[in-house]
Every structure is written in C-alpha cells, then in structure tokens.
Amino acid sequence: MTTLVPLLLAASGGFLWAFGVLGKRLGVEGATNANRGVRAALTIFVYTLTTAITPLFNVWRLGSEGWHRTWNNPEWSSRLPLLIICGVVSGIGGLLGTIAFAWAAGSSSGLISMIENGTYTMMSAIIIAIYFQEHPKTQAYFGFALIMLGVVLAQKSSTQRMEVQQEETSDGESSVASAAAAASVANRSRASSNGSGAIELGERKAERIGMGDCESLERSDTRMETSSSDCDDSFVAPTRFRVQAVALAVVAGTCWGFGPLGKKIGVHGSTDDQKAEWAACTYFVYMLSTTVVPLLRVICSDATERRESLRDASFRWLLLGTVVCGIISGCGGMLSTFAFAQENEGYSGALISTVENGIYTVFGAVLITVLFKESLSKQQMISAACVTLAIVIFGLDFHALGKLFGWK
C-alpha cells in the first residue's frame, strides 16, 4: 500500500531547508564592496558548519554500534569517495551562490534564489539520470526549456535595468550642467549693471547651485544604484556584478546539483534495517564535505578584512541569525535524506526531490523578498513563474500519483 510518509518527509524537509536560503542572505546584508567577498566566505562557512550539527547529533543517537556497522559495511564504505566528491562540489556551489547573493543584495536576491534553485533542480535530475542510467521523462524536457527561459528573462531584465540606470545618470548629469549654466547666465545678466564684483558674486552663486544639484544627483544615484556603487563603501554592488549574478547563480545551481546525487548514492539499495543508519551516516559525511571549499576560501582571504568583519558587532549578530537558520536547515536536509531512503514506497526519487525542491525554492524566495522588502519587475516575476512551473513539471509522476489516489 502506498503511504504518504515519503512525500510528507520531503515537504517538511523543503520547508525547513528554505531557512538556509535566508541564513545565507542574512550574512551578506549590509556588506560593502570592500568586504563583500570575505563576508560571503565567512557566511557560507558558518552556515555549512552549523548545518552539520543536526547530522552529527543524529549519528550520535545511532551509537557506536550503528556507526561501526555502517562504516564496516563494504557496500556503503565503497561509496565514500563519490559521496565526498559530491559534497565538495556542492560546497563550491554554496560559496558561489552566497557570492551571487552578495552581488544582488538589495535589488533582486529573491530572484537569484529562484534561479539558483531552479538550475539546481534541473541539473540534479540530469546528473542522477546520467549516473543511474535513467531516462528523463518526456515532461522533463519541457521543464528544461522553462528553466532556460527563466534564466534568459532574468538576465535580460538585469541588463535592461543597467541600461535604464545609465540613461538616467546621463540625463541627470545633463540637467545639472544645464541648470548651472542657466544660473550663471541669469546672474551675469542681472549683475551687468552693478560692476565686476556683482558678476563674481553671481558666478559663485551659480557654482553653489551647481554643487547643490550635484549633491542631489549623488543622493539620487545612490537610491537608483548607479555608478556610485563602484565606491568601496557602497552597500550596493557595482551594476556589472549585479548583472553577472544571474550567470553565477546558474553555475552555483549546477554545482549544487551534485548534492542529491551524493545523498542518493549513500542510501541507494539500503534495506529496511539499514535505512536509518545509512541515511544518518551519509548526510553527516556529505555535510562535512561541503565545508571544505568555504573553509579554504576563509583561510585564503585577507586577514585584515577578515578581522575587521568579525569585529563588526552588526555582522556578528547577522552571523548568529545564519547559525540559527543553518541549524533549522540541517534538520530539513536530514528529513530529505530520510525521504530518499523511503523512495521504494511507491514514489520515484524524482518526485520526492521535486516536492522538496519546489517548497524549498518558493518559500525561500518569499522569505527573502518579504523580509528584505525587495520588489520584482513584471519580467522578473515571469522569470520566477517559469522556474516554479518547471520545478512542478519535473515532479509530475502520473504513475505514482495514480497509485496514491487510486486511479486506474
């Protein structure tokens, strides 16, 4: 008899896992161009380290007997190299994804989250199908097309935004020059009958008007996130980086796609008696492997910048939020691994993965958009809708759903 347990585990895992997206976004909030890189590295390292707390506790619950029984099993231990490789590659994706968040913070990080997770869903399905020699379902190709369309729309909307900002900056500078020139001419005309002293006074007044307009333009430019974002103390990344954030999100999602492969390799073929032990040990090894690349990035970062960031009280509070989100996310990841271990209960791994990823993607993006008060353009909303629809299509399993609802 088909049971809902695997789908409930996947849904719960996706809901809790979504807090991981929020945790990574929290860590880069308020970062400037000068410390954006090191804060992204510190954030993802702290995040991956805290997500390992839950699997560590779960392994401890197994006891030494269950631990040794799994590690001494030749079938499971032979999978360790591939499991570790998948974790390291996924760690690369975590670092790149956090950098993409840092580049898009304050503008479209919610959309970046959707792109990362949409690409992750697509690539994980492809990678699992290739490794286990499975053939993607027909509807999966429609999902691939929708993911690509969503990425193209996101990239195009970012490029158009950059062009509009450049035009607004150019128009603003022209208006300032015109205002200063007009003020100078007017003052010269009024002062022509009062001698050269009045003329000089008028010129100084015109200069003050021009300077005042320039300061006003600079404040406007800051709000519009224009060329002032190139300054080291800018909280908004340079426009060229914000445009490239979409491409970086795609690369990050591709690297993340090796995560489900590693977890499935670790629990594939386990018996009912082995499921809990294999799932616990698999997830523990996988999560430890994801910390390797972020740790190396932190070690290689500038020591002065690292020290200054850690001395910042506001950043330490943000990291505390990242820790809490990481612990919650670790619980979600553990539930998702258990869901994969239950895939023989009438559901395919693709359906379980899609339920989890669908909830994770949508809820994570909503958390970021609401908490950080971001807004999406119509084109960006269409892009997000394409990604969400693609994730749903990936999970369409008519055979399993038929058994669940008693369809013939």
User: In this structure, what is the dihedral angle of CA atoms 103, 104, 106, 109, given to the nearest 10 degrees?
Assistant: -140
* Mean pLDDT of all residues in 26-54: 87
| Cα 183–Cα 188–Cα 190 angle in degrees, nearest 5 | 95
Tell me the pLDDT tens digit for each residue of 79-124.
Answer: 999 999 999 999 999 999 998 888 887 667 777 888 888 888 788 8
Q: What is the pLDDT of residues 7-27, one digit of tens each?
A: 788 888 888 988 988 998 898
The whole-angstrom distance between residue 307's C-alpha and the CA centroid of its chain comes to 25
With beta carbons less than 8 A apart as the criterion, state whether 233 and 32 touch: yes
CA distances from 247 to 36, 151, 243, 244, 380 (A): 18, 8, 8, 5, 15
Identify residue 18 by its one-letter amino acid code.
A
pLDDT tens-digit series, residues 228-244? 555 644 555 556 666 77
* pTM summary value: 0.72
> In this model, does residue 312 exceed pLDDT 80?
yes
Q: Mean pLDDT highest for which of 28-37, 194-203, 231-240, 384-393?
A: 28-37
Domain residue spans of the chain: 5-159+235-405, 163-230
